[in-house]
Amino acid sequence: MAQSTPKAGLRMQLQPLMPEDMRSELIAALKVQNVQNVRVGSGRRFAMPGSHSNSPAIRNTEADKRQQLRLQAIREIRTSEESFLRQLDLLLEYFVTPLRTNGFLTEKVHNQIFGQLDTIHNLSQELLKKLDDDLDNVVKAFTNLGPFFKLYSVYAFDYRNSLCTLQSLMDKNATLKRYIANTESRPEVQMKLISLLITPIQRIPRYKLLLQQVLLYTSPSDMAYKALQGSIRLVEQSVSHINAVVEDYENTQRLIVVQNALTNKSLKLVKPGRKILKEGFLRKLKTDGTTSRKYCILMSDMFMYCRVLKDVEVLLTEGSSIACCCVFPLKKCKIVELFRGNFRLTCSGDGSIFSADGQEGESHTWYVAIREAIELHVQCRKTLRKMSSNRKPMRKKHLQRLQPEDDIMWLLRRKMASPDRIQKPEKVKRKGLWPFRSMNCLDRMDRSIGEPSGLQQQQQQHYVPMGSVVEHRYPQAVTTSNTSKSQLN
């Protein structure tokens, strides 16, 4: 028994502090968390990543990595610009110049299709030159040339019309079509002419993406950070300008299609600032409870519904024909959403109830679009007063009386000639008893005592007998007094 006691105490001393399974789990967890054993002198301690002992080295590594990514993004700008310039060279060398010299196109048509490509080519060359001179200073290159990027908007404005003109010429001239097809298949080109023509329009949005990538890897404490933000804003302005120009052009073309489809040619739809917001079919409720299918067009300043005469399935096309039934100016319009997908549009006491031609959700979409258009139009009129809308809707009988002149002036004449605008009689100006305006107290103070002064002369000139004043201002009293006098006599 005496010998067993030390063995038991020895076993107690050699027993681990935690079970073996828990110890293995802790070691595995420490390995997952990348805990490093750091030997200091004769002892050991655990150091987690990101501690103060190695943070400067990690920060330097992150800064170097960020700088490498930034330089790579700048090199991507130069590489893409070089590729874009190569495409412009192919377009000018194999298409633009030969079509001018070979006589396939006249000078006017050639300028209409390829007019701005020379300017864009020169601008791209200048940008590539600035990038080659100082690749790190990409901000300076875009700051200097950023305002000239709006030249792309002229090309974007003529792009769609240029494609239509080119396609029409190729359909009429088989030789021109064969020449373009042979040039596109050459080993030096291997690209379609349409693909080459669209590259300038895609270039400005590409600049924005590339500069944003450079900004992502630029530290906010860097001196070029704010300047880079300014360059991105310049490019964004150019992108917005190009998009606005293209949108205005497409909207004008759509207004022309609607104008040509109308049977009443006196109603002028194409006007500056007018836009088509929504168009489609709606059901209009009649007085007898039935509905009729109408083609409705919501514009920025009016709502119009028409009767379909020819070839309208979803939207108007070149061969469509419609007859305008009513025009609601948005200035005095009010819209209320009713039950079961219906809404009522009123204007100066006149209105109609519309419902969706298909799904009920379409009616709510129309309601929201018309309500927002009314709110925007009223808000715009608060800052800019225009004489471009009427207070009353124009029905079919009014539309038939339109002359071939501008309908705005006709609407103004109709509004001025309406019976509710009666001209009020002019107020009679009262003449004062004393000429206070012409009185001068210091007039001719050096006159003699017996001579009348200037004030007395003016009073004598402006003197009005009291009887005439009373007779002028109170004619009934004078008549009554004369009658009483005659009775007394």
pLDDT tens-digit map of 375-405: 998 888 776 554 444 456 666 666 666 655 4
C-alpha 225/C-alpha 481 separation (Å) is 94
pLDDT tens-digit map of 166-190: 888 998 999 999 999 999 999 999 8
Dig out the tokens for 12 from the structure.
């107690």
Where residue 489 falls among pLDDT bands split at 50, 70, 90? very low
62-252: CATH homologous superfamily? Answer: Dbl homology (DH) domain (1.20.900.10)
Predicted confidence (pLDDT) at residue 451 exceeds the cutoff of 90: no
The larger pLDDT score, comparing residue 52 to residue 209, is at 209
What is the model's pTM? 0.56
Decide yes or no: CATH 1.10.287.610 for domain 264-384: no
Q: Which distant-in-sequence residues (6+ apart) come within 8 Å of 482 by Cβ?
A: none
Within a 10 A sphere around the Cβ of 230, how many other Cβ atoms? 12
Percent of the chain with pLDDT over 90: 18
Per the prediction, the chain carries an average pLDDT of 75
Q: Which of 313, 279, 309, 307 is nearest to 294 (CA)?
A: 307
Within a 10 A sphere around the Cβ of 191, how many other Cβ atoms? 17
Element (H, E) at 197: helix 193-216
Predicted confidence (pLDDT) at residue 487 exceeds the cutoff of 70: no
pLDDT tens-digit map of 101-129: 888 888 889 988 888 899 999 999 999 99
Angle ∠(479,484,485) on CA atoms, nearest 5 = 100
Is 246 within 8 Å of 156 (Cβ atoms)? yes
CA distances from 345 to 255, 328, 483 (A): 23, 9, 64
Where residue 446 falls among pLDDT bands split at 50, 70, 90? very low
Q: Which distant-in-sequence residues (6+ apart) come within 8 Å of 120 by Cβ?
A: 88, 151, 152, 155, 200
Where residue 45 falls among pLDDT bands split at 50, 70, 90? very low
The confidence score (pLDDT) of residue 40 equals 38
CATH 1.20.900.10 in the chain: give the residue spans.
62-252
* Residue type, position 475, single letter: P
C-alpha 181/C-alpha 187 separation (Å) is 13
Dig out the tokens for 369 from the structure.
């679009």
The larger pLDDT score, comparing residue 303 to residue 414, is at 303
The confidence score (pLDDT) of residue 64 equals 81
pLDDT tens-digit map of 463-483: 444 444 445 444 554 444 554
The larger pLDDT score, comparing residue 203 to residue 459, is at 203
The confidence score (pLDDT) of residue 240 equals 87
pLDDT tens-digit map of 53-94: 456 666 678 778 888 888 888 889 999 999 999 999 999 999
CATH 2.30.29.30 in the chain: give the residue spans.
264-384
Using CA of residue 108, residue 157, residue 297, residue 326, what is the dihedral sign? Answer: negative
The confidence score (pLDDT) of residue 443 equals 52
Out of 12-26, 149-163, 298-312, which region has the weakest mean confidence (pLDDT)?
12-26
